[in-house]
Amino acid sequence: MVSRRDIENRVPITLSLILATVMNSLDTTIVNVALPHIQGSVSASQDQITWVLTSYLIATAIMTPLSGWLSLRVGRKSLFMISVVGFTVASMLCGIATNLGEIVVFRLVQGLFGASLVPLSQAVVLDLYPPQQVGQVMALWGAATILGPVLGPTLGGWLTDNLSWRWCFYINLPVGILAFTGLFLFMSAERGEDKPRPFDFIGFGALTTAVASFQLMVDRGPTQDWFSSQEIWTEAIIAAIAFWVFLVQTLTARHPFFNRALARDGNFVTCTVFGFFVGVLLFSAMALLPPMMQDLMGYSAFQSGLANMPRGIGSMISMLVVGRLIGKVDTRLILVVGLSVGALAMGMMAGFSLDMTAGPIMFSGFLSGLGLGLIFVPLSTLAFATIPPTLRPEGAGMYNLVRNLGSSVGISIMQALWTSNTSVVHSTLAARIVPSNPVISAALPRALSLTSPMGAEALNGEITRQAAMVAYVDDFKVMMIISIAVMPLLVFMRTAKMAERPSAQHMAME
């Protein structure tokens, strides 16, 4: 609970919380456009550089369910200040990193500390204001959460082109310092509970091991020839054993990591599974587009950021509109529309070519953001529609864990498909270039002549470029198929009566 001092200082406290939220939300997208520059700086391969994204997402997924228990143990102010300091310091370390391993480790630390920022800030804001003001304040707070996807790509591109990719991390320092100072000066401390509810460390440890091993298997698989490698087998076996331990612990422990009642709610389980695939669609395209635009089409980081900005604008528009539709229109119908718009966007992206302008990228991105915005809020509302309020904190932890896991696994799988398809398509295209064929020789420009080493090298580069584009297009086709394939899950979702249904804004932020 909040004190009288907190009520008196709620404006500076709220501003500090919003700064922390902006810092966290900005970091989910600002790095995307800088990936090709980071890749060149640390000499990483295309599949390795995605670890910069997946390490952050997987750390956030693992740590989010622990946030509630930690806040009871050490107090919300203490945990918030620790999280802000840890996130800010980790951002600085990412900026000064000299190799891929350091960046991945520091991004992992960043995700561990940043996981508590959004749920904690939401909880404090809800306590600070009377019910009649909560809607306005949560709208302002919600705007901060979507500010990152809107401004992140453009800001990241400008910083990368005009300063360095390292400033995509350094920019968190002044924001973190301001947020910490505001909380330190204005927010009152509260003691943690002497005897907080028991925490299932065995279940948490088993789940963490399973998730980490599975993610490592998916990340390393393309470079290790998958199950031809002993390493991949080892990671798969560890993930399977750890997940089995987690299941047994959840079914038998007196105080499991997640309440067993959540698994008995079919509606919540269906929505959570659906959320996994939403996670796949949410970040995969944003991870694929900047390298495609910068490496294959000659865009600068800032230009690719500008071209990706309509995606965030589309999400912002649809999330503002959908709040007015919840309760008036069947929530499942909104999800159908969102999935259809998203599938249409992916279908447009499956028609990309190397000679197109930025128009198709911007329009399809806007549609994609529009579709995801129509999915995000209604799905969160449906997921919590049938579980009792006492289970919502644990449900929010599980729901967000699975969605973030879908994001990290989705990025890894799409990158693995891209790597494999690029190699296959390159071999297919190269096999058709026969030097003795006069038609081929006549069709090739002089710069790509097969009779000179430089021409042959240039030709191989162009074949690689074409093969990479085909592989990107194939990834977009897969995401379009996923958008359509998950629609039947909507049949198993149930809505609650209006009196029982939590507010759309509240559930969206959980």
- Give a three-class secondary structure readout of 315-383: HHHHHHHHHHHECCECHHHHHHHHHHHHHHHHHHHCCCCCCCCCHHHHHHHHHHHHHHHHHHHHHHHHH
pLDDT at res. 133: 67
User: Does residue 136 sit within a domain?
Assistant: yes
Phi/psi of residue 265, nearest 5 degrees: -90, 100
**How many angstroms separate the CA atoms of 43 and 35, rounded?**
12
Is a pLDDT exceeding 70 seen at residue 42? Answer: yes
The predicted model gives 448-463 an average pLDDT of 67
Residue type at 311 in one-letter notation: R
Q: How many domains does the chain have?
A: 3
% of the chain at pLDDT higher than 90: 10
Residue type at 139 in one-letter notation: A
Point out the least confidently predicted range of 10-24, 133-147, 195-209, 388-402: 133-147
Asked if 176 and 265 sit in the same domain, the reply is no
Asked if 147 and 274 sit in the same domain, the reply is no
User: Does residue 458 sit within a domain?
Assistant: no
Asked if 277 and 246 sit in the same domain, the reply is no
DSSP codes, 31-95:
TGGGHHHHHHHHT--HHHHTHHHHHHHHHHHHHHHHHHHHHHHH-HHHHHHHHHHHHHHHHHHHH
User: Does residue 309 sit within a domain?
Assistant: yes
Show the tokens assigned to 320.
Answer: 């503002």
pLDDT in tens, 302-331: 888 888 888 888 887 887 787 677 767 777
Asked if 316 and 228 sit in the same domain, the reply is no
Domain extent at residue 247: 200-256
Asked if 96 and 170 sit in the same domain, the reply is yes
> Per-residue confidence at 26, pLDDT binned at 50, 70, 90?
confident
Is a pLDDT exceeding 90 seen at residue 47? Answer: no
Asked if 306 and 211 sit in the same domain, the reply is no
Asked if 271 and 345 sit in the same domain, the reply is yes
Phi/psi of residue 329, nearest 5 degrees: -125, 145
User: Does residue 455 sit within a domain?
Assistant: no
**Are 46 and 291 in contact, with CB atoms under 8 Å apart?**
yes
Is a pLDDT exceeding 70 seen at residue 20? Answer: yes
User: Does residue 354 sit within a domain?
Assistant: yes
The predicted model gives 392-417 an average pLDDT of 80
Is a pLDDT exceeding 50 seen at residue 500? Answer: no
User: Does residue 55 sit within a domain?
Assistant: yes
CA distances from 14 to 123, 192, 245 (A): 11, 22, 41
> Per-residue confidence at 195, pLDDT binned at 50, 70, 90?
low
pLDDT at res. 6: 66
pLDDT at res. 501: 43
Nearest Cα residue to 312 out of 156, 152, 157: 152
Residue 64: CATH number of its domain? 1.20.1250.20
Last residue of one domain, picked from the residues 228, 256, 284: 256
Q: What is the mean pLDDT of the chain?
A: 80
Asked if 59 and 137 sit in the same domain, the reply is yes
pLDDT at res. 115: 83
Show the tokens assigned to 175.
Answer: 């924001």
Asked if 206 and 148 sit in the same domain, the reply is no
User: Does residue 433 sit within a domain?
Assistant: no
Asked if 344 and 395 sit in the same domain, the reply is yes
Show the tokens assigned to 47.
Answer: 């599949």
Is a pLDDT exceeding 80 seen at residue 274? Answer: yes
Residue 159 neighbours by CB under 8 Å, 6+ apart:
30, 34, 165, 167, 168, 171
Is a pLDDT exceeding 90 seen at residue 344? Answer: yes
Asked if 295 and 224 sit in the same domain, the reply is no
Is a pLDDT exceeding 50 seen at residue 509? Answer: no
Point out the least confidently predicted range of 62-66, 67-71, 498-502: 498-502
Angle between helix 100-114 and 51-74 (nearest 10): 30
